[in-house]
Structure 1
Amino acid sequence: MGNIWEIVLMVLGGLGLFLFAIHNLSDTLKELLGDKAKKWLGYFTKNVFTAILTGVVITTILDSSSAVIIMTIVLVNSGALSFRQSMGIVMGANIGTTFSSQLIALDIGQYSPIPIFLGLVFSLFSKSEKISRTAKVVLYFGILFFGLYTMERAVEPLRDHPGFLSWMERLENPWRGTAAGALVTLVIQSSSATVGMVITLAKKGLINLGGGIAVMLGSELGTCSDTLLATIRSDKQAVKTGVFHLFFNISSIALGLLIFPLYIQFIELISASASIEQKIANAHMIFNAAGVLLFIPFVPLIEKLLNKLISTKKPSLKVVGQSET
């Protein structure tokens, strides 16, 4: 029992470091970029394709799809972006967030103390504010990977724990795995952290490809909660952006569950001799990119549908006694 508690505490510690790094990394990069990120969102979103590309680039830089989508909702609410522009950014953000999965799949956690040390030294002793903030970005990247490395080492003993292995086997069921992924992401408010934990478990042979993909699908649903919260007390254009994000993710997940066995076979085929953690990262990227490609032709139709469901037009008031002409 003592060993289990030790594992739990180490996992929580590693997860805490990861979430701390993700949150501060996003905030520091926004400070470093200033209003540039907002300007880019406005400049390069003239059509759906450039909006998608902009969403991909900024999410890759900020390493947080939620931060980008919330920023987009704020800009829509202020009138700086239209609902149509926001749709492209939301889809692009879903692709951009998968690049962190590719990084996590690389076995670089053991080298994380190097960026931590360098980032700490330069952030403390640099007189330049810009260099200091850049050093903090390096520091938080190091902490992010050190958190994953901590979790990776913590779960090693679980390979011999029958109860845990039995529970992980149940996640092979796509519905259970998806529900677990959604719940975990809802609690920790980070799909990157959920996918990161899955990749960590896969590295240690504690979850198979099917279970990993199922949890990844669920993380896409769980990440909608904070963006929906951002639409509270916003105007209807901003609300439509949050609803579109939810609709896009639910539709993609439903399709993924529908073809789940075929999708696993497809990932096995194209990934060939790659490690299981790399296969999960590939599955994450391909799933989100394919969802965007499938949605692009339907953007005008979805826009019309949401415009009807969430109308921004104020109903005209009819004066009592006025004769109709």
Structure 2
Amino acid sequence: MEIFLMVLGGLGLFLFAINNLSDTLRELIGHKANKWLDLFTKNVVTSVITGTVATILLDSSSAVIIMTIVLVNAGALTFRQSLGIVMGANIGTTFSSQLIALDIGQYSPISIFLGLVFSFFARSEKVSKSARVVLFFGILFFGLYTMERAVEPLKDHEQFLSWMEKLDSPFRGTLIGALVTLVIQSSSATVGMVITLAKKELINLPGAIAVMLGAELGTCSDTLMATIRSDRQAVKTGLFHLFFNIICIAFGLAVFPQFVTFIEWLSKSAGMEQKIANAHMIFNIAGVVLFLPLIPSIERLLNRLLPEKQKAAMAQTERLPSMSTKDSHDSTRA
């Protein structure tokens, strides 16, 4: 029970920090991010780079994709411009995995203390918000540090170790990762927990990668919810995010043994937590590279599935006069 409560508390701190960090960064640079999204989306490559940078700055792929959906719905971005941003957001979110893999949790109280002091005594609103960013980063890593210390006794728990071994099945691990992310609404938190378990040698690389794949699917839920009551262009952006992740995950599962071997070879003597972070980054970058040639086909497919209502209405309007003309001809003949 004590382990469960400590893990729950650490997870709560992590989620609290993630949400507040995203909100604070959005307040600090959100309006600038909107301008950048509009300015640097002239082609797919620049859109991918923009989505990556925006996600690193805002520390949330969901925030960037939801912001993109909002801009598409408002007409500030086109559906085509949004495609690269969505893919870039998947790359940008791997930056947090690399940070989590670093063993800096024990120093997080320093960040918390400095953030509190500067946020309390800062006279400038900008300095105060910047200090809160430092504070929430500290809380984020302290939450991970709390979970890391909490799960340490599980190394000797046979039932837990037996359950973790079942995650080696790619499909089972992917399903667990998707369900966990769906519940806690944060793929970063799911990957963070996996890295935390890896630091204590409670999960092996195949199981960790499988859960990571599932986290990519689970994170689609909040972006799909953002499309509710949106126009069809925005809905297509949300669906593209879903299709992109499903196709990438399917490909990852198809080459799962080879991918695990490749990560083992690439990372060599690195720790398990670093291997997981590397797998997260390489998987998402490879997904974008492999998916780029498919963008025109996916775009055409979504345009056919969800055609513009306005175009359909115009077509209907054009048909009506021709029908009325035909009717008038028929009545004249009569």
Which TM bucket (shorter chain)? over 0.9
What SS does structure 1 have at the residue aligned with 2:202? coil
Q: Name the TM-score, length of structure 1 as normaliser.
A: 0.97
Asked if 1:88 corresponds to 2:84, the answer is yes
> Equivalences for 1:310-325 in 2 at 5 Å?
310-312=306-308, 313-315=311-313, 316-317=315-316, 318-319=319-320, 322-323=325-326
Following superposition, the deviation at residue 34 of structure 1 comes to 4.1
What SS does structure 1 have at the residue aligned with 2:270? coil
Following superposition, the deviation at residue 60 of structure 1 comes to 0.5
Asked if 1:127 corresponds to 2:123, the answer is yes
> Equivalences for 1:171-182 in 2 at 5 Å?
171-182=167-178
Partner AA of 1:142 in structure 2: G
Following superposition, the deviation at residue 26 of structure 1 comes to 0.5
Structure 1, unaligned stretches of length 5 or more? none
Partner AA of 1:10 in structure 2: M
Work out which of the residue numbers 248, 272, 276 in structure 2 matches 1:276: 272
What do the CA deviations read for 1:171-224 (whole angstroms, capped 9, x no partner)?
Answer: 000000000000000000000000000000000010000000000000000000
What SS does structure 2 have at the residue aligned with 1:274? coil
Aligned residue in 2 for 1:114: 110
Work out which of the residue numbers 117, 134, 137 in structure 2 matches 1:138: 134
Aligned residue in 2 for 1:154: 150
What SS does structure 1 have at the residue aligned with 2:24? helix
Following superposition, the deviation at residue 301 of structure 1 comes to 1.7
Asked if 1:292 corresponds to 2:299, the answer is no
RMSD of aligned alpha carbons: 1.1
Work out which of the residue numbers 193, 196, 206 in structure 1 matches 2:202: 206
Following superposition, the deviation at residue 250 of structure 1 comes to 0.2
Q: Could you say which structure has the larger radius of gyration? A: 2
Asked if 1:31 corresponds to 2:27, the answer is yes
Instruction: Quote the Cα distance in structure 1 between the aligned partners of 2:325 and 2:160.
Output: 73
What do the CA deviations read for 1:158-182 (whole angstroms, capped 9, x no partner)?
Answer: 1111111111000000000000000
What do the CA deviations read for 1:251-287 (whole angstroms, capped 9, x no partner)?
Answer: 0000000000000000000000000100000000000
Instruction: Quote the Cα distance in structure 2 between the aligned partners of 1:107 and 1:151.
Output: 13
What SS does structure 1 have at the residue aligned with 2:227? coil
Work out which of the residue numbers 45, 49, 65 in structure 2 matches 1:49: 45
Instruction: Quote the Cα distance in structure 2 between the aligned partners of 1:267 and 1:59.
Output: 24
Following superposition, the deviation at residue 48 of structure 1 comes to 0.3
Instruction: Quote the Cα distance in structure 2 between the aligned partners of 1:95 and 1:34.
Output: 19
Partner AA of 1:201 in structure 2: L
Aligned residue in 2 for 1:249: 245
Partner AA of 2:193 in structure 1: M
Aligned residue in 2 for 1:78: 74
Instruction: Quote the Cα distance in structure 1 between the aligned partners of 2:36 and 2:30.
Output: 11
Instruction: Quote the Cα distance in structure 1 between the aligned partners of 2:195 and 2:252.
Output: 19
Instruction: Quote the Cα distance in structure 1 between the aligned partners of 2:324 and 2:20.
Output: 61
Aligned residues: 321
Instruction: Quote the Cα distance in structure 1 between the aligned partners of 2:289 and 2:29.
Output: 29
Q: Name the TM-score, length of structure 2 as normaliser.
A: 0.94
Alignment CA distance shift 1:239-1:60 (3 Å): same
Larger helix proportion, structure 1 or 2? Answer: 2
Partner AA of 1:157 in structure 2: P
What do the CA deviations read for 1:100-138 (whole angstroms, capped 9, x no partner)?
Answer: 000000000000000000000000011111111000000
Instruction: Quote the Cα distance in structure 2 between the aligned partners of 1:77 and 1:255.
Output: 31
Aligned residue in 2 for 1:20: 16
Instruction: Quote the Cα distance in structure 2 between the aligned partners of 1:154 and 1:311.
Output: 52
Asked if 1:169 corresponds to 2:180, the answer is no
Following superposition, the deviation at residue 321 of structure 1 comes to 5.4
Asked if 1:264 corresponds to 2:271, the answer is no
Partner AA of 2:297 in structure 1: L
Partner AA of 1:314 in structure 2: A
Instruction: Quote the Cα distance in structure 2 between the aligned partners of 1:60 and 1:321.
Output: 58
Following superposition, the deviation at residue 322 of structure 1 comes to 4.4
Following superposition, the deviation at residue 323 of structure 1 comes to 1.7
